[in-house]
């Protein structure tokens, strides 16, 4: 069983995948594909930050990583194609999870009960009534 088999298919860009427990990880039949990112990606590996092209994780890759950047030093061969930047570990290990933001408390607005409006309106009506009664007495 193949992990991926892009047969008679060209110019696919395939990267940041984990190919694990396959009879054959990939087959590129009558195809020419790109097996790594086409732009450099900033990532964290082994506690350090790097910027480089990134390929895929292949569980049967036997290459080395002399500089410790998490990218294999020799390409992973896929028929006539190559992953020029094979990952030494599963791709999830290259990206630290984003920290969960701490919510900022929203300033609370004191609740204004509806009955307060009723009391204020009643007071205004009573005041207006008292003023009108005084004017009549004069």
CB count in 10 Å sphere of residue 25: 22
CB contact at 8 A, 25 and 4: yes
Backbone angles phi, psi at 55, to 5 degrees: -105, -130
CB contact at 8 A, 69 and 43: no
- Whether residue 106 is predicted with pLDDT greater than 80 in this model: the reply is no
Higher-pLDDT residue of 84, 117: 84
- Rounded average pLDDT over 104-116: 69
Instruction: State whether residue 93 is helix, strand or coil.
Output: helix
Provide the sign of the torsion angle of the four alpha carbons 24, 22, 82, 58, taken in this order.
negative
- Whether residue 117 is predicted with pLDDT greater than 90 in this model: the reply is no
- Whether residue 103 is predicted with pLDDT greater than 90 in this model: the reply is no
- What is the predicted pLDDT for the residue at 112? 62
Q: Convert the pLDDT of each residue in 42-95 to its tens digit.
A: 999 999 999 999 999 999 999 999 999 999 999 999 998 999 999 999 999 998
CB count in 10 Å sphere of residue 76: 25
Domain spans of the chain, in order of start: 1-96
Whether pTM > 0.75 for this model: the answer is no
């Amino acid at each position: 069983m193949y992990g991926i088999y892009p047969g008679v298919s060209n110019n696919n860009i395939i990267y940041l995948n984990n190919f694990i427990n396959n009879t054959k990880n990939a087959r590129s039949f009558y195809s020419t594909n790109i097996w790594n990112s086409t732009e450099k990606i900033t990532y964290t590996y082994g506690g350090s930050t790097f910027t480089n092209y990134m390929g895929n994780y292949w569980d049967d890759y036997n290459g080395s990583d002399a500089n410790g950047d998490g990218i294999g030093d020799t390409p992973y061969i896929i028929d006539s194609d190559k992953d020029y930047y094979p990952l030494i570990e599963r791709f999830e290990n290259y990206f630290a999870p984003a920290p969960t933001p701490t919510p900022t408390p929203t300033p609370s607005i004191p609740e204004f009960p509806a009955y307060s409006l009723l009391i204020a309106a009643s007071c205004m009506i009573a005041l207006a009534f008292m003023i009108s009664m005084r004017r009549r007495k004069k």
